[in-house]
Amino acid sequence: MKNILLIISLCFIAFSCETSKKEEIVKNEALVMYVPSEMALLMNEMYVFNEKTKEKIIKNEDLGEFSANFLNIHSAILTNPTDRNGEFEGFSQAFLLNQQAVFSEKITDKKEQFNVMINSCVACHKTTCVGPIPKIKKLLIP
Ligand code: HEC
């Protein structure tokens, strides 16, 4: 029984941060137990939003607006609540400023600002959640 619990909790840890290959994991029975945290859901929303924003920048289309929902990064419940410390708040603030700047009329080089913003996702991830970094880096515009 102990072993089963250990395996389940290892899966849980693996799921929240150490892997980005969701499709594979969904097939794993143990993961029926996985419930993503508010923060994990928000992160996935940020990812999808920026995938679309990247496409728009590449195609030179209108970018629309900053998603105010991202401000929830300051309050969303984390899988590991102890991650939220002073450093984390600093990274959150830097990310939000960079994300907002992508939509600012004053910023003309959208591609450069977009990449700065993605690097601010990566900077925080280096300190808290290294698993998704390769996936996040794919958002960078070459
Ligand atoms: C302030 C720190 C911070 C910033 C900035 C940040 N992340 Fe995260 N990210 C985290 C943490 C912590 C988790 C783990 C969340 C959890 O499990 O509760 C996470 C999880 C994720 C996940 C995995 C979600 C899952 O299903 O488990 C993805 C993908 C992700 N982030 C992408 C991004 C992208 C894209 C950006 C920028 C647009 C970004 N992150 C910015 C800290 C950050």
pLDDT of 34 reads: 77
pLDDT of 86 reads: 96
Indicate if 15 and 48 belong to the same structural domain.
Answer: no
pLDDT of 11 reads: 46
- Whether 66 is in a domain gets the answer yes
Q: What is the pLDDT of residues 28-45, one digit of tens each?
A: 555 567 789 999 999 999
Indicate if 72 and 86 belong to the same structural domain.
Answer: yes
Q: What angle is formed at CA 95 by the lines to CA 90 and CA 101, rounded to 5 degrees?
A: 130
pLDDT of 23 reads: 53
Give, for ligand 1, the residue of 45, 82, 98, 129 to mutate: max count of ligand atoms closer than 8 Å to Cβ: 129
> Is 95 near ligand 1, meaning CB less than 6 Å away?
yes
Number of domains in the chain: 2
Question: Could you list the residue range(s) of the whole structural domain that residue 118 is in?
Answer: 36-137
Residues of the chain where predicted confidence (pLDDT) is lower than 70:
1-16, 18-32
**3-state SS of the chain: helix, strand, coil percent to 5?**
70, 0, 30
Ligand 1, atom 2: closest residue by C-alpha: 124
CB 18 within 8 A of CB 131: yes
* CB burial of residue 75 (10 Å; 0-12, 13-18, 19+): exposed
Report the alpha-carbon distance of residue 102 to residue 76 in Å, rounded.
23
